[in-house]
Amino acid sequence: MRQKKFLIPMVVLLVFSMVLAACGSEPEENAGDNDGEGGADRPEFLSIVTGGTGGTYYPLGGAFAEIISDETGIQVNAEVSGASAENMNTLRDGNAEIAFSQTDIASYAKEGTLMFEGDQIDNVSAIGTLYPETIQIVTTAKSGITSVEDLKGKKVSVGAPGSGTNPNAEQILEVHGMTFDDIEKQDLSFDESTAGIQDGTIDAAFVTAGTPTGAVEGLSATEEIVIVPIEQDKIDALIEKYPYYIQDEVPAGTYKLADAVSTVAVQAMLVVSNDLSEDVVYDITKAIFENTDKVTHAKGELIKAENAVNGVGIDIHPGAQKYYKEKGIEAAE
């Protein structure tokens, strides 16, 4: 009997201890709801997909990766890629978390149009726009090409497969009454394009990138560069039909040019996976826009938070919106 009396309190104590343990574990189970520093949903590693090594995305991506790593404690790696269209697919497939893209390509992806026909990408949002991406029709003085019409019958690179340069080239040719059938189309990266121009295997190349573009600068060291101008009436027609274009120019002195050259541009932007939490994207956005002084590329001077909400074309991630709201910057809903 005494043994029974002793056993009953022991059982009650054991049950009570189990209840306390269960209650004590609840905060740990819910830790993932807090995405702040150390939260379960805060990733340890992120990837930024950029573009080819000869473009502007890659060096900027490397600078952003270092800044985000230093400011947030998340290890970030910049990866070479085929640029805009490929990057959107990479985000969709969950193989990266942050991507560079042209604003027009991001819009095509969200709408399921052009190269994304029947393949709409709906799991991405914008961090913001960065700088104009100038469309440069690159050739050399010895080619004799001085106008878009002169490209007829020539071997012309229209960008790497999956890049945003391809539709830019197609649309510019379109307003000049031409199609890809009027040229010997080559699908080459910027580095491959400038190498081809240098060795004579192609005549010209469309390059959509921030100026100065590394691959074109490299070519200018050995060749007299010509940037083919787009005339004002064609610029007006292009912007009227495709309003994500803006008027732009390649400044005098770039690639040793004697005079500025009229052309058009889209905008570079950063796109992010919707899988990233509001807190994480807020930290990323803040890290980038408050440390642009650490970006050594010339385009770093153009990257400003107050411009980041202009011409985005797709929804801005709630984390980025939170940052812009704190700064008093009106973000598109």
Q: Is the pLDDT of residue 36 over 60?
A: no
From 215, 248, 266, give the residue that closes a domain: 266
Q: Taking residues 17-39, report their average pLDDT.
A: 41
Provide the domain limits for residue 155: 133-266
Q: Are residues 138 and 261 in the same domain?
A: yes
- 332 domain residue, yes or no: no
Q: Are residues 154 and 103 in the same domain?
A: no
Of 127-141, 171-185, 319-333, which range is least confident? 319-333
Distances (CA, A) of 259 to 95, 211, 252, 255: 43, 15, 4, 11
| Residue 23, domain member (yes or no) | no
Cα 187 from chain centre: 20
Q: Which one, of 184, 179, 222, 220, lies nearest residue 201 by Cα?
A: 184
Residues 6+ apart with CB under 8 A from 81: 49, 50, 51, 52, 87, 90
Q: Is residue 258 part of a domain?
A: yes
d(CA 3, CA 121): 69
| Same domain flag for 61 and 156 | no
In a shared domain, residues 310 and 162: no
Average pLDDT, the chain: 88
Residue 137, strand partner residues: 206
Is 22 part of any domain?
no
Within 13 Å and on the Cβ side, how many CA atoms surround 245?
26
For 150, the token pair is 């002169």
* Residue 198: both structure tokens together: 């240098």
Residue 19 has pLDDT above 60, yes or no: no
Q: What is the pTM of this model?
A: 0.74
* Residue 244 burial by Cβ neighbours in a 10 Å radius (0-12, 13-18, 19+): middle
Q: Are strands 75-79 and 45-49 parallel, antiparallel or unpaired?
A: parallel
User: Which neighbouring-strand residues pair with 273?
Assistant: 124
Give the total number of structural domains in the chain: 2
Is 147's pLDDT higher than 60? yes
Q: Is pLDDT of 169 > 80?
A: yes
pLDDT tens digits for 105-133? 999 999 999 889 999 999 999 999 999 98
Assess whether 82 and 65 both reside in one domain.
yes
Phi then psi for residue 51, to 5 deg, are: -165, -160
pLDDT surpasses 80 at 325: yes
The encoded tokens of residue 90 equal 């990479």
